[in-house]
Amino acid sequence: HFTSEPTYSPAEFPCVALYEADNSSYDKTKDSSGKENHAQVMYEAYVFSNKKQGRKTECKNIFKVVDEVMSALGFTRLTKQPFNTDNVSRLIGRYVAVISKNKEIFRR
């Protein structure tokens, strides 16, 4: 299951929640009138598994795909953190990039 909405307790498993968590003006490239030319964005990825056995492995395998896609798009991973409870394994990743008004992506 995939969603672009923040969720901490998905209805279906396995699940990937990937969404834009922050979007701010990249001040270094503002022009003299203060017009924004680039935005600095951060995406968060939450990967969930509730398998009885192999939850952590399933999360790691799914996260690897997310990581490869985000990297290929030009994003830099800031963090990858596990967060596990008794019944659900989670991996949380944060990705950043600078995006031009022409939709070009630059690694930070």
Mean pLDDT of 63-87: 94
Q: The whole model's pTM is what? A: 0.88
Cα distances (angstroms) measured from residue 22 to each of 13, 54, 55, 67: 26, 32, 29, 18
Q: Per-residue pLDDT tens for 34-71?
A: 788 899 999 999 999 999 999 999 999 999 999 999 99
pLDDT (0 to 100) of residue 27: 83
